[in-house]
Structure 1
Amino acid sequence: MNYRNADLNLLKVFEALMNEGNVTRAASKLSLTQPTVSNALRRLRETYGDPLFVRNGAGIRPTRRATELWAPLARSLRTIRGTLEGESFDASQSDARLTVSMTDYVACIVAPRLLERLGELAPGMRLHTHPGTVVDFGQSLDDNRADFAIGAYNDDVQRPGFMRSRRLWSVDFACFMRNDHPLAKLDKIPLKKFLTARHLDVSLAGRVGGIYDRVLQSRGLQRNLVSTVSHYSAAYEAVRRSDLIAVLPWSEGLETVRMTGLKRVAPPLAAPARTVELAWHERHETSALHQWFIALVVEMLAREPAARTARAKPGTRS
C-alpha cells in the first residue's frame, strides 16, 4: 500500500474482519453498514492484489497473504492507538458476544465463576461455550469458532504460531473410586492391585490410551483399561456407580460437586502435572474487549490456591 494513498479506515475494517471472521459482525462492531464494509474489503483486495478473505461456512477466513499482513498491521494499529488517547472499553455498557472453547472439567470450574463476574461487571455481555479438545483448539481459534480456548494442553501438542496463552492453574491427577470400593480402605494402593483393577479413562478426542498409559508403558507396565469416555463428568459419575477406578484431574481448592462421594488417593505412579491455560489468537492482541477478558479471567482465578501454584512455575506463555 502506498503510504501517500493509505486510508487508515481500511485498516480498521481489515482488523475487524480478522477479529470477527464475519462481514456482518465486523460491520456491527464498526457501526457501519454491511455494504460499506464489503466495499472497503473490495478496495483492500484491489490494493493488495489478493482476495484477503475467502468464504468459510457462514463466515470468512483470512488467506495466507492476509495472515502475513496481520502481524505488522496489528503492531502499527497498537502504536497508533497508544500515541493517541487509546481505545476505550466500558465493560458495563458492552453487549459484546464472546465464545469460549473448554472441556467439561474446565467448564465446571470456570463457567460459574465467570458468569458471576460478568453479571457484576458486564451484565450486557453474552458468553457462549462449546466443547473443545487438544486436537481442534487451534483450528477453533483460527477460524473464529472461538474467541478463547481454556484447557490443560500438553507440552507435546503442536502449538500454532498464532496462539498466545496465559497460565491459569495447575492440575494434578489422583486415583478416584467410590467410597465403598474394595481398594478404598487402602491409603496406598499396591502397584499390582492398581494395574489389575478395572480402569476407566477420559479421551476428549476419542482415543484409547492416553498420557497416563504412556507413563506406564515407559516403565514396561500396562493397566487393565476397560472403558474410555469423552467427558469428565461421565467419568466421575461412572466411577461413583461401579467398581471402576480412574486417574482423573484434581486441583486443590477447585474441587467440584462431581467429586463428592468419591475416595481420592495417589496412584502408585504419579501422572505428570499439567497446567490449564487461557489461549487466544494473536489477531486479538489489538482488541480492547479481548484484552479486558484476558485480564478478567486471570484476576478471577488468581485468588485460587491452584492458580498461585501455576504462577509459581516457570515458562508462562504470552
Structure 2
Amino acid sequence: MPVSFNTLDLNLLKVFDAVMEERSVLRASQKLALSQSAVSHSLARLREVLEDDLFVRTAAGMQPTSRALAMASQVRDALRALEAAVELPTFNPALSTKLFTLAANDFTTLALGPALLMLLGREAPSVDLVIKPVTRIDLAEQLDLGRIDVAIGVFSSPPSRFRTALLFEYDDVLIVSASRKLCRIDKAAFEKLSLVVVSFGGEQEGAIEGFISERGLARRSEMYDRAALEKAFGDSDLPPRMAISLPHFLALPALIEGSELAAIVPRPLAKAFERTHSIAIHELPYTTNPLEVRLLWHERVDEDPSHRWLHDILRRATESLRRAG
C-alpha cells in the first residue's frame, strides 16, 4: 500500500529524526521529553507505514537501514524548515548581511549619518544601507511595495497603514558667512538680506502649504517655515529678498562663505556647517514652528525583528539631537 503524506503524522518524523541522531531510543526519548515506550510505539507505527524496519538494534545501538539513511537528510531539512516557518523569527545584527533601504534628504542624512555609521560598525559590521532621495520618488508607493524599509522626514497625518516614531525636533536659524561679523539680527537688518532657501519640490509639483501629498501621504517639501516668514514680514514695505531657492542643502556652504547671502536652515544642519565651514549662526528675528523629523514604515513589518532593530538604531543615532532639542 503506497504511503500517503496527507495522512502521515508528522510527529512520527520527529521521532525518526531523534533516533537517527541519537542512535538510541533512550536518548531520543530524553531529547524529545517523551517516555521510552512512547518513542518505541511511534517508531513501530512509522515502520508499519513505511513498510521498513528503519532501525536495527545492535550492540553498538540502533543502526539505520538503507531506507532510513536515504530519507534522513530530507526529513531533517524538512523539519528544520517547518520550525523556521512557525517559530518567531530572530535577528542577530552582529552576524547579519541584510541590506536595508532608507529614504532621506541630505539634511537628515548628514544629521544622523556619522552616529549611525559608528553604531553599525560596532553592532552590525556587515549590514549594508541604501539611502534613496526622499524627493523625486513616490514614498507611499515605495513603502507599499516594500522597496523602501523606512522613510525619514517631516510628515503630516500619515495614512493608517503606516507607523511613525519621533527622531528629533528642530526649528529654523539663519546662517551667514563668518566674515560678515554681524551682530544680533533684528527685523530691520533681516529685511535687507538676500536669502537662500531650500525647497524639495515646489508649486509646480502640487505642493500645498509646504507639503507634497502622494497616495494620502503628505511630506514636507519646503525646508523653511514660509508661513512664519510671511506672517512676520507680511506688512513690510520691503520684505527680504528670496534670491535663490535650492532643491538640496549640499551647495549652501559654498554659496554662503565669503558672500553677502544668508540662508534659513534647520538648526542641527547649521551646527554641522559651523563645525566644518566658515559659517556663523544667528537667531531669526521671528519665531518659527518646531518640526518633527520622524521615521515612517509600513505596518506589515511591525513584528519583524530586523525592522525593529533598524528603527531602534536610528533612534539611538539621533539621541544627541533629541537632547539638544
How far apart are residue 124 of structure 1 and its match?
A: 1.8
Secondary structure of 1:218's partner? helix
Give CA-to-partner distance per residue, 1:240-293, whole Å, 9 cap, x none: 242111110113996356763111111111222112212111111121110111
1:132 positional shift: 0.7
CA contact (8 A) 1:175 1:247 kept: yes
Cα distance in 1 for residues equivalent to 2:270 and 2:281 = 14
Hey, what does 2:54 align to over in structure 1?
Answer: none
Q: Which amino acid aligns with 2:225?
A: Y
Q: 3-state SS of the aligned residue for 1:145?
A: coil
Q: Deviation of residue 224 (structure 1)?
A: 0.9
Show the counterpart of 1:191: 187
Q: Secondary structure at the match of 1:307?
A: helix
Post-superposition offset of 1:110: 1.7
Report the secondary structure of 2:322's partner residue.
Answer: helix
Q: Equivalent residue of 2:131, what SS?
A: strand
Structure 2 residue runs without a partner (length 5+): 1-82, 205-209, 211-221
In the comparison of the two structures, how many residue pairs are matched?
Answer: 221
Amino acid at match of 2:106: D
Which of the pair has more CA radius of gyration? 2
Q: CA RMSD in A?
A: 2.9
Q: Which runs of 5+ in 1 are unaligned?
A: 1-80, 311-318
Give TM-score, length-normalised by structure 1: 0.62
Q: Is the 8 A contact 2:162 2:297 kept in 1?
A: yes
Q: CA deviation at 1:85?
A: 6.0
Per-residue CA distance 1:130-183 (angstroms, 9 max, x = gap): 1114984333322333111112x15xx3522222111112212111000122xx
Letter in 2 for 1:165: T
Stretch deviating more after TM superposition (224-233 or 205-214): 205-214
Q: What is residue 151 of structure 2 aligned with on the other side?
A: 149
Q: Is 2:179–2:258's contact at 8 Å kept on the other side of the alignment?
A: no
Identical residues among aligned pairs (%): 24
Alignment pair present for 1:216 and 2:229: yes
Q: Distance in 2 between matches of 1:253 and 1:217?
A: 22
**Alignment-mate amino acid for residue 140 of structure 1:** Q
TM-fit CA distance, 1:128: 0.9
Distance 2:275 2:257 in 1: 9
Mapped partners of 1:217, 1:121: distance in 2 = 46
Distance 1:301 1:89, change over 3 A: same
Q: Of the candidates 295, 300, 303, which is equivalent to residue 312 of structure 2?
A: 295
Query: Structure 1 counterpart of 2:179, which letter?
Result: D
Alignment match of 2:323 (pick from 304, 308, 313): 308
- 1:112 deviates by 2.3
- Asked if the contact 1:100/1:128 (under 8 Å) is kept, the reply is yes
